[in-house]
A = this chain, B = another copy of it.
Amino acid sequence: MAKRRPVGNLLALAVLTVVVQRPMHPYEMASVLRARGKDQDMPIKWGSLYTVVRNLEKHGLLEAVESGRQGARPERTVYGVTEAGRREADDWTRELLSTPLREPSSFEAGLSVMGGLGPDEVAPLLRQRLELLEGQIETERQALEAERGQLPRLFLVESEYALAMREAQARWVRSLLAELDGGTFPDLDAWRAYHRTGDLPPGLAHLAERGGTEEGPTEED
């Protein structure tokens, strides 16, 4: 399951969905995608556009429909989607919708290494995050409200989801902060000590040890 995509970059999916509507040359794809704000919904790097289009063509998902120059502009190639491309786009979309993936965010990574900083440094950092988060939420909520009149719900769903996730994150950060500030977070002192001395509290030594397959007579345990 989850067969490997011939072109894995999500920009490729964006390209396919836009070319399905009408053949285009690459730069136009970029303009349309930008105009629709797709770069908000996917991690799109425009530097990859031409590579991705070339790869799509190589795998028979796109085909050159017309190529020539208009005026003195550099030569441009207009690409159309193939039947295989259409299938790939649909199949990919189905997979994205139906299969939840574990995709750790950078915040999760940050949380998993926050032990390296002391709790008294972590709290202000989280407070800053919360403030920025609240600002973003407000901005997005307004943008969404403004678009609600212009566009059908269908085209706003992904923004609604993003907003809901932001709000959930803010709530979670707020509750962690309350525990840190209120001192109800357990082991605050052990954490402080660990941060100062680098020593884990006794009984947790196995966290730092083992894992390496220590061979030879260097150590016994």
**Chain A residues engaging chain B, CB cutoff 8 angstroms:** 10, 13-14, 17, 20-22, 24-25, 27-28, 31-36, 38, 40-43, 70-71, 73, 89-90, 93-117, 121-122, 125-126, 128-129, 132-133, 136, 151-155, 157-158, 161-162, 164-166, 168-169, 172, 176, 185-187, 190-191, 198, 201, 204, 207-208, 210-216, 218
A108 and B22 contact, CB distance less than 8 A: no
A95 to chain B, nearest CB (A): 8
Nearest-Cβ distance from residue A128 to partner chain B, whole angstroms:
4
CA distance A129 to B208 in the complex (A): 37
**B111 pairs with A157, CB closer than 8 A:** yes
Tally of this chain's copies: 2
CB-based contact A198/B35 at 8 Å: no
Q: A36-B211, A97-B111, A102-B162 are in contact. List 6 more A-B contacts (CB 8 A).
A: A20-B198, A95-B110, A97-B110, A100-B129, A115-B155, A153-B187
Docked Cα-Cα span, A186 to B115, in Å, equals 47
| Nearest CB in chain B: distance from A112 CB, A | 4
12 contacts between A and B (CB under 8 A): A13-B109, A20-B116, A22-B208, A25-B212, A28-B211, A28-B213, A98-B126, A98-B132, A154-B191, A164-B172, A165-B168, A165-B169
Give bound CA distance, A206 to B176, whole Å: 45
A103 touches B106 (CB 8 A): yes
Top 5 A-B pairs ranked by shortest CB distance?
Answer: A96-B110, A28-B212, A168-B168, A32-B211, A35-B211
